[in-house]
Amino acid sequence: MTGSSWRLSGAVPVMAEQCQVRGPRGAVAAAAPAAALVGAEALRAGGNAYDAVLAAALAETVLLPPKCGLAGDLVALAWPRDCAEPQALLAIGGAPAGLAELAIHGGMQATGPGSVGVPGAPAGYLALAARGRLPLAQLAAPAIDMARRGFCWSRICSSLAEESAELVARHNAAGTRYYPGGCVIAPGTVMVLPGLAAALEALVADREGFLEGAVGEAILECVRRHGGVLAREDFSRPVHAEWAKATAGRLGGRKLFVTPAPTHGAALLRALESMTELTQVPVAAVHAPVSAAVDWQKASLSDPGGTSMVSAVDGEGTMVSVVHSNSFPRFGSGLIVEKYDLILANRAGRGFSSEPGHPNFPRAGRRPATTLHAWSVAGPGAMRLQGATPGGANQMPWNAQTLARLLGGETDIGRLIAAPRWDASDAAGSLVLEEGFEAAEIDLLRSSSQSCQVIGRWGLHSAMQIIADDPERGLLAAAADPRTVGAALAF
């Protein structure tokens, strides 16, 4: 890396190559390998980047249902090569009308029936489809086929199910397909989700009327039965997937764009304000401003969370990054609409502040704060990079670390992803560092934290993806984090 203190040696260059792909006609990355294949097939069928990310995202709703789905939320960045800057897509469901009263009386909770809001993801998927070239039925077909005919349950889904077993059991006394006989499904088990197949078919058929049809009624019935406040009138209020202007900033001499509020893009910009020129140890130096930005964001908005992600760049240089989520902890609210295998998200319960007068208080229809966000960077030259990472409260710190390395001169997306990271999710101010930081960096991190624990290389749970358009070399690229089971494909 030119002009930086961090080094790549041994297995790192190999991993940097293994996790990225390059091609002249398109590239796709996804958190589930089969979803990356579905996205790549959409490109091969003549689709564009919007088609690819939508096909891959719908596949992930089947392959990774604890992480994302039709009852969750979605944000995205889209940047065509011939546009001066990207656009952000915000598909975050608003607050139920009854949530404010629940909050005032101390009844708003992070999980359970009172945490369920209006799903925003369906409108987000449809907004992506509107910019694609292929029919929605064609893009949804692979996901529907996997749900109906079967797919292999992943290890990550098993791990997330273990973490959420008590939550799900508490709200699903009659059992659920995701815990047959009350047990966690073993990795590799062939799984069928016929209800989810039916829900995806309803999205294709009903489009904007999806929540007004049978699936929406089943969601409302489930929430009512458990004592939640979500009501039919909340669905009658328009659920907009808004294409909005990205928030602009600077990364040294380059243009930096992030998704706007209510995402944490503003906090990312705030953390990078002081990084206007190359520092000796940029990744370590960014810890202090990251901590300050997190505190600032909590004072105005809130919401630590968890997600999945898909990315694509097509032969015309259009880049699209999608982050979609059931919120945290993994199985969202814990409520499952068994007829449609839908895990209901809890963004409303944990994304809002219960303090009256707070800018993030749950007024009817207001979108809650979310840690979901993505970034785009212009340069050097005509090259453009775009990325994001799932990871709950660490999304902003991990993105800041990657951008600090970009500031230091690294533009190889595989090396950016394979580089060591630190985790700042400990509320007590402790850090967890992957092996690979130099001594000066470790010393600086120790000076700005309560304690530092060093773990093995690629030991954190980051799931970052980066895509790149390099028209001067005629190359398109995508990279998926080696710390997770994601994959990238190009052609």
Interacting residues of 457 by C-beta distance below 8 A, sequence separation 6+: 11, 12, 420, 434, 435, 436
CA–CA gap between residue 10 and residue 475 (Å, rounded): 27
Answer yes or no: is pLDDT of 151 > 60. Answer: yes
Average pLDDT value for the chain? 91
pLDDT tier, 300 (very low <50, low <70, confident <90, very high otherwise) = low
* pLDDT for 296: 66
CA–CA gap between residue 68 and residue 372 (Å, rounded): 12
CA–CA gap between residue 268 and residue 400 (Å, rounded): 6
At 387-399, the pLDDT tens digits run: 999 877 789 899 9
Helix axes 265-272, 287-300, angle to 10 degrees: 140
| Domains of the chain, CATH where assigned | 12-490 (3.60.20.40)
At 84-103, the pLDDT tens digits run: 999 999 999 999 999 999 99
Strand bridging mode 430-434 / 451-455:
parallel
Say which residue, 416 or 282, is predicted with more confidence.
416
Lowest mean pLDDT among 36-45, 299-308, 422-431: 299-308
Percent of the chain exceeding pLDDT 70 equals 92
pLDDT tier, 262 (very low <50, low <70, confident <90, very high otherwise) = very high
Type and span of the H or E element at 104: helix 99-104
Backbone angles phi, psi at 288, to 5 degrees: -60, -50
Residue (of 333, 384, 288, 318) closest to 76 by Cα position: 318
pLDDT tier, 288 (very low <50, low <70, confident <90, very high otherwise) = confident
Answer yes or no: is pLDDT of 221 > 60. Answer: yes
CA–CA gap between residue 52 and residue 490 (Å, rounded): 12
At 237-257, the pLDDT tens digits run: 876 799 999 999 999 889 999
At 113-146, the pLDDT tens digits run: 999 999 999 999 999 999 999 999 999 999 999 9
Strand order in the sheet with 26-30: 242-245, 87-91, 73-79, 319-325, 308-314, 26-30, 487-490
Say which residue, 478 or 293, is predicted with more confidence.
478
∠ CA 324-167-150, nearest 5°, is 55
Residue (of 228, 227, 301, 220) closest to 259 by Cα position: 301
